[in-house]
A and B are shown apart, each in its own frame.
Chain A
């Protein structure tokens, strides 16, 4: 079946540091890939997505590139802020009609001033 693997964290960074959260996946077919963010006490918000190989999703300074050859979708940001502290989930959506989303375990990011 499908699976998503991401580092569990927590990841602690100083403000303005470079962020990378690794995500690799296993899937049949050609899934769409997502990063969701969950701020404390809230539900999940879509951060960015990519629907085919070599697509780059970007939003709020975050970027991730769909790498089919390495089955990866790593999340990066050049300069993190305290407000980026949250849990980040990598996810994939199966192609076709079912549309079940498989989530990674989530990576907690803490940014300190």
Chain B
């Protein structure tokens, strides 16, 4: 069974540009979560999508947004990039229903803002 995949592996942008990160969940999983792992700050919850809807978001400004497609893959968009957006962005997926509570993580996208 294929795991969670993310693309690209690395992304280099300059301040003010936009970044788009992509995530494909494990087959059959309907929920996708996005996390930011910045140096020294641990993992911070960004967004949760389930069945195509945004269910919750963490304490991040509106320039962090995303969407989930009908095939349950997801996209994270970061507008007006700032230097402090440099981080590893992790996507995780979870199976349907409230009885499945384990999230499975992808390898991440390393975003560098210059």
B101 contacts across to A, CB distance below 8 A = 32, 51, 93, 95, 99
Binary interface encoding of chain B residues 52-69 relative to chain A, with 1 for a CB under 8 A from any of its CBs, else 0: 000110000000000000
Number of interface residues of B (CB under 8 A): 23
A46 contacts across to B, CB distance below 8 A = 102-105
How far, in Å, is A42 (CB) from chain B's closest CB? 6
- Residues facing A in B57-114 (CB within 8 A) are 90, 92, 94, 98, 101-108
Q: A97-B98, A98-B55 are in contact. Are A44 and B45 (CB under 8 A)?
A: no
Complex Cα spacing A96 to B101, Å:
9
**10 extra A-B contacts, CB within 8 A, seeds A89-B43, A95-B101, A99-B48:** A32-B101, A42-B107, A43-B108, A46-B102, A46-B104, A93-B102, A98-B55, A99-B31, A99-B94, A103-B42
7 tightest A-B contacts by CB? A44-B105, A43-B107, A103-B43, A43-B105, A93-B101, A105-B42, A43-B108
Q: B residues within 8 Å of A by Cβ?
A: 4, 6, 31, 33, 35, 42-43, 45, 48, 55-56, 90, 92, 94, 98, 101-108
